[in-house]
Amino acid sequence: MRINYNFAFKDSKLRPWERPAPPNLLLTDASLEKKLKYIYDGFNNNANLFYPSTIVLASSIGIYFFSLYPKGILKTLENDHYQYEQIVNKLSNLEASKKRFKSNLRDIEDYFYQPTTSLLFTFYLQNSIPKGIMLDNYHFSDNGFDISATSYSIDNLNEFLTLIIESPVVIKESVNVAFLNREEKSISGSKDKVITFNISIYGETKKIDIKNRELLYEEAQAYGLLKKLKRFNNLKNLLQI
């Protein structure tokens, strides 16, 4: 059962006594010096209550002001960092594009560096045919060639063979004579006979390097191929392939 200890105040003019609070000097008209001394004495008299919290508060304020300087530096560097990230992203995209270009160039490189193009071979073949030589047929590929020719003079065939061997698109050591035939044909209505010589030559073509290929294109007046080759080489140099 709850006991009411204030039973003495029931039906009585008595009032509970309350301890009066000590006068607050800060609310009076006392001098500033007295107020400061009052605050100082209050701290000293209640050291266990005020000192820990004061130390924590002072430390927090000190750390806050100490962090203002690095925060200011970071703020000034924020725009530079943003620009740096943009540049890094652009460089990464450029590097990826460069790798794609390199891969694509390697895929089409054979079209520009074939062993010998048919244009160069036919150009130098035409320049290797002296007077008195009739070209019967020829076959050309990246691996080699076969040529058949006819002449009324063996000397003309020797000159023709020499010019083929000295051609800048032919491997000299690979040139061979498959056969050399001598034929006699009668002239209709006459007892005279015509002598002809048939020759068949085969060999291999060179794999021409870039520098010589440009010179041969220029000599053959293949300016379209020369322009494409130079443009391709310049692109390779820019990409450092």
What kind and span of H or E run contains 181?
strand 176-186
What is the reported pLDDT for 241? 62
For the chain, 241 residues long, give each residue's pLDDT as a single digit of tens: 455 555 555 655 666 667 766 667 666 777 777 777 877 777 777 767 667 777 888 888 888 877 777 777 777 777 877 888 888 888 888 888 878 877 777 777 766 666 667 888 888 888 888 888 898 999 888 778 999 999 988 888 899 999 999 988 898 899 999 988 888 877 666 667 788 889 999 999 888 877 788 888 888 888 888 888 888 878 777 776 6
What is the reported pLDDT for 114? 67
What is the reported pLDDT for 189? 63
Q: Which residue has the tokens 């690095």?
A: 70
What is the reported pLDDT for 9? 55
Listed by start position, the domains of the chain span 25-98, 118-208
C-alpha distances in Å from residue 122, one per residue of 67, 127, 157, 184? 81, 9, 18, 30
Does domain 118-208 fall into CATH 3.30.1360?
A: yes
What is the reported pLDDT for 76? 78
What is the DSSP code (8-state) at residue 203? Answer: E
pTM of the model: 0.53
CA 146 to chain centre: 45
What is the reported pLDDT for 5? 53
For the sheet with 133-140, list strands across it: 133-140, 145-151, 193-203, 176-186
What is the reported pLDDT for 203? 92
State the Cα–Cα distance between residues 208 and 121, nearest whole angstrom.
12
What is the reported pLDDT for 35? 76
